[in-house]
Amino acid sequence: MAPDKKPKKDDSKKFKKMKNKNKKKKSKRVSTVPIDNRAVDSEWWDVFWHKNSTTLGSNEPYDEEEGFKYFFRISKKTFEYICSLVREDLISRPPSGLINIEGRLLSVEKQVAIALRRLASGESQVSVGASFGVGQSTVSQVTWRFIEAMEERAKHHLKWPDSNKMDEIKSTFESFSGLPNCCGAIDATHVIMTLPAVETSDDWCDQENNYSMFVQGVVDNKTRFLDIVTGWPGGMPISRLLKCSGFYKLCESGERLNGKVRMSSKEEEIREYIVGGASYPLLPWLITPYEDNDLEIPMLELNQMLEAARAAAVKAFSQLKGGWRILSKVMWRPDKRKLPSIILSCKHVDPMGRTIRENLTKHLQHCKEKAVCAHTV
């Protein structure tokens, strides 16, 4: 068999040049363009708007300011404030893998935008990633980093009002519901989720046979959340959910809802309280509707006032799920390590709670009678 022919010198040189050229191209593709994450990225929105504004329907906003709110549920000013809150957290850890299709490291602004779009739209990670030019894993990583940062940096916005602010809240509640000394309304909602087969249990299965997680909140007259608790299984009773909250412990120890006592028209004490639905227990600081049959008119009227005040909490959760649509869709899996074992308990009625509710009923009835007398005179 004849031996292989040796390549000519010219051919050898050409082969080496082509090999070196390919190496340069390969190294160019994997390199990233460094950016200063401390600097404000003002270009990401222009790129995003140019790419995604054409996807808006005929009834959706075409103005950029309105378009920003449409995509992210907040104004540009609020967006900038959020970026300032989480900037240090998002740049303190190595941004390994956080690159887009152009090979650029993601700015803080773009990371926040990705996370907000995922939370606001409830769209899949693939869909959100495509609108920003990043992969599914990047959307997942960025979203969780953002959530962790917000939990730490924005918690000061969720606080109980001081006495002056509380006086305003009570005054407004009384003006639209007729209830004196009412400090807020409490309600809860379910966030639907999926669970692996090995983790399913009746604890997580709610009344509609969905696996869900509870979110409970206390809101003021303007539907702002004053207290919130989440992470508990959707199958537990509301009364147990309440008792597992820090808010319950603070109220029971006298550290919350311990402000001014209002004297009724019959010189009976009406302490500070919040209102809740019939699924909540009646407590000295938590007033719920009468549930007996054949209620007298004053009791029925009080129930209507309680429902008017509680509507603030119902509206708050409706806005929460409507604005952040990921909450109205299937939620990610909870971290079971943070959850204690569930002990079911029966709903009970506190004698002091009954007394406060009766005092309210008498007060409202007396006020009504005085108004009728004044009108006839």
Ranking 22-26, 237-241, 301-305 by mean pLDDT, the lowest is 22-26
Report the C-alpha gap between 364 and 178 in whole angstroms.
8
How would you classify the pairing of strands 212-219 and 269-270? unpaired
> Structure tokens of 274?
């919040």
pLDDT at residue 62, rounded to an integer = 63
DSSP state at residue 93: S
Q: Tens of pLDDT along 294-304?
A: 888 888 999 99
Per-residue pLDDT, averaged over 350-355, amounts to 62
Q: What is the Cα 224 distance to its own chain's centre?
A: 11
> Structure tokens of 202?
């009746």
| pTM of the predicted structure, to 2 decimals | 0.76
Report the C-alpha gap between 86 and 145 in whole angstroms.
9
Tally of helices (H runs) and strands (E runs) in the chain: 12, 7
pLDDT at residue 179, rounded to an integer = 94
Q: Which has more pLDDT, 36 or 57?
A: 57
Confidence of residue 207 (pLDDT cuts 50, 70, 90): confident
Beta bridge partners of 286: 274, 283
Per-residue pLDDT, averaged over 98-118, amounts to 79
Ranking 67-76, 87-96, 244-253, 340-349 by mean pLDDT, the lowest is 340-349
The three-class DSSP label of residue 196 is: coil
DSSP state at residue 277: -
DSSP state at residue 33: B
Q: Distances in Å between the alpha carbon of 20 and those of 9, 11, 25, 29, 31?
A: 17, 14, 9, 15, 17
pLDDT at residue 161, rounded to an integer = 95
In three state form, how does the secondary structure of 248-307 look? HHHHHCCCCCCCCCEECCCCCEECCEEECCCCCCEECCEECCCCCCCCCHHHHHHHHHHH
> Structure tokens of 263?
């004297």
Report the C-alpha gap between 139 and 116 in whole angstroms.
10
